[in-house]
Amino acid sequence: MSELQTDNWRSQLSTVEALGNMAFCAPKQISSFLPQIVKGLRAVLNDTHEKVHDAAIEAIKKIGSVIKCPEIGDMLEIIIKALANTNNYLNEALNLILETSFAHAIDAPSLSLLVPLLDAGLTMHDN
């Protein structure tokens, strides 16, 4: 993930694209790494280079596309918005999560997207 910390936007872009494509190649194998992957992608979601920003959103969408939990799949759009912009969308995402009755198991890709939002919500409301 150190490739995401570079100032070279081309390196960031290729790393982000590779991380997004990994979701399709081996979802079971990378499930234990998804929290770190999503954390790295969140770090570049607000990158000033438009291509890096767009690629990060696309990578998170790809991770979201392998989610097996239909309830999470239904709220994927607001989850991605909240990951990209917690100031504007976090409360909306958290309220949607609270209002959802989960009838299916929450898989690792789902948790990799939900936990950062829950953590941000707890941190924000803790201050």
Handedness of CA 86, 30, 65, 69 (dihedral sign): negative
- Angle at CA of residue 33, ends 57 and 58, nearest 5°: 10
Q: What is the mean pLDDT of residues 59-65?
A: 86
Nearest CA among 16, 58, 51 for reference residue 37 = 16
Residue 126 banded pLDDT, cuts 50, 70, 90: low
In angstroms, rounded to a whole number, what is the distance separating the alpha carbons of residues 120 and 115?
Answer: 8
Average the pLDDT over each of 14-18, 24-28, 71-75, 86-90 and give the range with the smallest value.
24-28
Q: Tell me the pTM.
A: 0.80
Mind giving me the DSSP string for 15-67?
HHHHHHHHHHH-HHHHGGGHHHHHHHHHHHHT-SSHHHHHHHHHHHHHHHHT-
More confident call, 125 vs 58? 58
Q: What is the mean pLDDT of residues 32-42?
A: 82
pLDDT at 97 over 90: yes
Domains in the chain: ranges and CATH? 2-126 (1.25.10.10)
Per-residue pLDDT at 23: 74
9-35 residue pLDDT tens = 888 899 899 888 887 776 667 777 887
pLDDT at 127 over 60: no
